[in-house]
Amino acid sequence: MQIQNSVVVVTGASSGIGAATARAFAAAGARVVLAARREERIRALALELGDAIAVRCDVTSQTDISTLATAALDRFGRIDVLVNNAGQGLQATVEQVSVSDFRDVLELNLVAPLAMMQAVLPSMRANGSGAVVNVSSGTTFADVPGTGCYVASKIALERLSAVARNELAGTGVTVSTVIPFATETEFLTSIKAGRSDAEAMTAGASFDDPRVVAEAIVDLVRTGEARKDLVPAAYGGTR
């Protein structure tokens, strides 16, 4: 897909990978719709980017998702790209994890991306083209104790993406997955539970700049490829 003048919706756009992705698309000539709960942040980013709008959106709210899609269509008349970036971590063993916390993480990391896809696909189908990029996690490459519930949500998202890609074959709409490695974001400060354990697990790790992930996302939209991981070969990835 050509990026110039395309309309790109980015969830979780208030910081980290989401904000970097919005900037990367804007730099490539896209018009960007910024979605996040922290409205003041995305409003400031929209002013920085120019041809962009900010829409406060909790992606676990169907009402907010509908409002987001309507705002994008009202302003730009189409939706060409969706980046499902909003998500949250959870660090706890299978024995200790709160089932309520797990449900909340599944709602945000898995159900919300599905609801977002359903909201934008009618516009993409009508235009005969579109791209969805779902953001997974390099934690899916290992069976690290304490990551099971978070990994389960991201593995499920990867499979949902793959099936959706096959279902939409021939429509002009592609669905792709990007799999970042450790990235410098606010992930640990917003983790659902187990922050101290997660910080201990990642202590001393080398973190990627969010712009690395953003460029990978833009590249997936350009090429339409199914999947791109940023995981080092030492951990089973292709990097």
Quickly count helices (H) and strands (E) in the chain.
8, 7
Give the amino acid at 191: I
Structure-block tokens of residue 147: 């990551």
Angle between helices 16-27 and 210-223 (to 10 degrees): 50
Structure-block tokens of residue 25: 């698309």
pLDDT at 204: 60
Q: What is the pTM of this model?
A: 0.93
**Three-state secondary structure of 152-175:** HHHHHHHHHHHHHHHHCCCCCEEE
Point out the catalytic residue in the list 150, 153, 173, 177: 150
**Whether residue 192 has pLDDT greater than 70:** no
pLDDT at 207: 75
**Whether residue 200 has pLDDT greater than 70:** no
Mean pLDDT value across the chain: 93
**Beta bridge mates, 135:** 178
Question: In this structure, are residues 177 and 133 in contact, taking their beta carbons and an 8 Å threshold?
Answer: yes
**Whether residue 211 has pLDDT greater than 60:** yes
**Whether residue 188 has pLDDT greater than 90:** no
Q: Is 235 one of the catalytic residues? A: no
* Model confidence pLDDT, tens digit, residues 165-183: 999 999 999 999 999 998 8
Structure-block tokens of residue 10: 């980015």
